[in-house]
Structure 1
Amino acid sequence: MPEPLRLVQAGAGGMGRAWLRTIAANTSVQLVGLVDLDVDVARAAADEHGYHDVPVATSIDELDVEFEALIDVTVPVAHPTVSVEALLRGVPVLCEKPLAETVRECLQMAAASEVSGKLLMVSQSRRYFRAVEAFRRQLAELGPVGTLSCEFYKAPHFSGFRERMAEPLLVDMAIHQFDLSRKLIGSEPVSVYCDSYNPSWSWFDGNAAASAIFTYADGTRFTFAGSWCAPGLETSWNGRWRASTAGGTATWDGDNAPVAEPDVPAPLGDEPEEIAGSLVEFVNAVRTGTKPQSEVHSNVVSIAMVEAAVRSADTGVPVRIADIVTDAYTEALSTTQNPDLLAALKSWGDPLAVLGLS
């Protein structure tokens, strides 16, 4: 058995505490440091989870420890700074979703991974539900998917920044469903038409509801319809899914095992789920050099889906994913200050090819 991978975690808030519990339950890793802008919060979180001897600090530079990987659980706006700093120190990073707030920043983070030669992986936790993998296996047996749909209806009262966002549903939540559609369809998105709006009774300032239709490269259509101000008969947090294929139909309620007609068995495995699953895949990728499913270059496409949906909602016309990427690439070339990152970006030539979109 190899020695546990020595981890530093950045971020000790609510999600940070969930990661501390996950790290404690995995014998393949060892927490050796915890950083947070509020050192008292970091100390309390570490002590609460039994890490009384683990040093805490307000930044990685303040920690006097040797570590082999970083878990970035900071707020999304800080991901580009924290993850890139670690990568350029020669440390692989597992970053909480979303990778960044803009595709431009995502491209710069991908460049940092290339410059450092170190892995940057995103924890798209919904990919690690056992039922998702069973659903994917069902679809593979039934044949090509023509239409995949997801309904998402919840009524959360966050009373924080989400209720003040311009597009809370699309920007803060839909990344999960958009990203899952890529895993289930097995192709890449080409364009989207999206309409977002805010029902009259909504407690959100911005648009808490949206409908979107994505066209995929293989011709599949993925439709998303959802609301964050829909009390009563709520769906799972994963949404309610339906796939129409050449050989039949499969559905997943977001919580239980999927079902299909004609019947296709969908036994659930026993693999780790959610962030525990992403941590297992990250450790394996670091140890073996294999490419995980949410490696940075691939995950940029899911962020581009969100940005394209928002642009379509703003403009009222369909938006091509390629246009989002190329516009972001042009912006990245003009705003990147680090000469090594800029050189890496310039070497791409065609960003669509780098991201697997052409």
Structure 2
Amino acid sequence: MKNAAEPIRSIVVGMGGLTRSMLRSLTQKPWQEIAAVVDINPAALQRAADAYGLPEAALFRDLGAALQQTDADVALINTPSELHYSQAKAALLAGLSPLVAKPLTNNYANSCALVDLAAQQRLRLCVGQQMRYFRHYQVVAEFVAAGELGSIEQIFFFNAKPRHQAKNLAGFEQPVLWEMTCHHLDCLFGILPMLMPEAIFCDGFMPSWSVYDSACMINAVLRGQGGERLLYHAGYSAQSDCYGLRLEGSRGVLRCRGLHMSKDQMTYEFARRGESFAEIDLDRGRPPSQPWSLFFDRWHEYLRGGEEPHFSGRKNLRVLAVIQAAIESLASGAYVDIADPLRQGNTA
């Protein structure tokens, strides 16, 4: 990476809604500079040029041309997940550190290959896992770390929404696991860093009103190496919003209820062992956070040589290993052991 006084120059690949959301935070950072944008849609390129003051020479419809013609340090890849592997690989081979929208890829073996390639190239491969920076997950993580719950052994996590238009997920295999579960697991690992997945049983189905082509509602039980159990429900075909997180520990239980994991309006209730629930104010006047801003600050530190974050390609393999085992469980109808990729030679 360049001298710390020089800006980090990025090639932005894909100018959809997620990219625009990310760039609202990224463009506020004094250490960054957009060097080029890539999109197959000329209108999207023109909007980017107008929004970020880019010249015609910085607009590309082909990633290969952008990589050849642009002096850049990183590639922000926000495209359909079936393109992530080839695009991230091209960026790595061109000497850029990719930041890839979740999931890293929708194929576990390909994700492992990218991690290995990043290590060989001595580059920083990262995944856009920003959800744990929402206030909700920060305050719950702080409550857990304070020890009020004791040893947490039972977890309930429910997040489903009424997404009754398939849109980009039409024809998608396992849309919930690849598009939702990756965020759910990363947030849970942020709250419960001691949780080491061991095995999972997963069942998926499509309600009669579903508009999807693959299991759009998921139920699973995950077993941790320490004996913990996670009861998990997620999906796109709920008839109304559903969000709940319940953490059962040796000293008490915390119950969180809301509309969705990304909406910071939550109700919190706590009960000590054997007692009734009482509402508590975990937010304590803390304003809602800016997840992408916090994420980019941590990303910047890592690019400059700082500590490896949870969203590095290597560490994100733990999330993807759970998803891979869940897919295998769906096919077999049985518990499937979860690989520990951090102990199996993956290095970046």
TM-score for the superposition, normalised by structure 1: 0.82
Partner Cα distance (1:13, 1:182) in 2? 28
C-alpha offsets along residues 64-118 of structure 1, whole Å, 9 cap, x if unaligned?
3321222111221121122122222222221111000111001100011110111
Q: CA deviation at 1:36?
A: 2.0
* Partner SS state of residue 208, structure 2: coil
* Equivalent residue in structure 2 for 1:290, among 307, 312, 317: 307
* Equivalent residue in structure 2 for 1:251, among 252, 255, 279: 255
Q: CA deviation at 1:62?
A: 2.3
User: Do the aligned residues in 1 keep the contact of 2:49 with 2:59 (CA within 8 Å)?
Assistant: no
User: Do the aligned residues in 2 keep the contact of 1:138 with 1:250 (CA within 8 Å)?
Assistant: no
* Partner SS state of residue 230, structure 1: strand
* Equivalent residue in structure 2 for 1:72, among 74, 77, 80: 77
Which residue of structure 1 aligns with residue 183 of structure 2? 176
Which residue of structure 2 aligns with residue 88 of structure 1? 93
Which residue of structure 2 aligns with residue 45 of structure 1? 47
The alignment yields a C-alpha RMSD, in angstroms, of 2.5
Worse-matched range after superposition: 268-277 or 300-309:
268-277
**Structure 1 gaps, min length 5:** 326-350
Paired amino acid for 2:101: E
Instruction: Map 1:207-246 to 2 at 5 A.
Output: 207-232=215-240, 234-235=241-242, 239-246=243-250
* Equivalent residue in structure 1 for 2:59, among 56, 61, 68: 56
* Equivalent residue in structure 2 for 1:140, among 145, 148, 159: 145
Partner Cα distance (1:173, 1:134) in 2? 21
Q: Does 1:315 align with 2:332?
A: yes
1:88–1:320 distance in 2 versus 1, CA, 3 Å: same
C-alpha offsets along residues 260-295 of structure 1, whole Å, 9 cap, x if unaligned?
345685557679633333222111111133211111
User: Do the aligned residues in 2 keep the contact of 1:35 with 1:42 (CA within 8 Å)?
Assistant: no
Which structure's residues are more often strand, by fraction? Answer: 2
Partner Cα distance (2:126, 2:284) in 1? 28
Partner Cα distance (1:292, 1:82) in 2? 22
Partner Cα distance (1:289, 1:15) in 2? 26
**Structure 2 gaps, min length 5:** 273-279
1:175–1:87 distance in 2 versus 1, CA, 3 Å: same
Partner Cα distance (1:121, 1:164) in 2? 27
User: Do the aligned residues in 2 keep the contact of 1:42 with 1:56 (CA within 8 Å)?
Assistant: no
Paired amino acid for 2:246: R
User: Do the aligned residues in 2 keep the contact of 1:7 with 1:31 (CA within 8 Å)?
Assistant: yes
1:261–1:28 distance in 2 versus 1, CA, 3 Å: farther
Instruction: Map 1:259-278 to 2 at 5 A.
Output: 259-261=269-271, 265=282, 267=284, 273-278=290-295
Which structure's residues are more often helix, by fraction? Answer: 1
User: Do the aligned residues in 2 keep the contact of 1:138 with 1:266 (CA within 8 Å)?
Assistant: no
1:268–1:167 distance in 2 versus 1, CA, 3 Å: farther
Which residue of structure 1 aligns with residue 277 of structure 2? none
User: Do the aligned residues in 1 keep the contact of 2:115 with 2:346 (CA within 8 Å)?
Assistant: no
Partner Cα distance (2:102, 2:211) in 1? 25
Q: Does 1:354 align with 2:342?
A: no
TM-score for the superposition, normalised by structure 2: 0.84
Paired amino acid for 1:213: V
* Equivalent residue in structure 1 for 2:164, among 130, 135, 157: 157
1:353–1:241 distance in 2 versus 1, CA, 3 Å: same
Paired amino acid for 1:203: V
Partner Cα distance (2:310, 2:288) in 1? 15
Which residue of structure 2 aligns with residue 22 of structure 1? 25
Paired amino acid for 1:155: P
Paired amino acid for 1:156: R
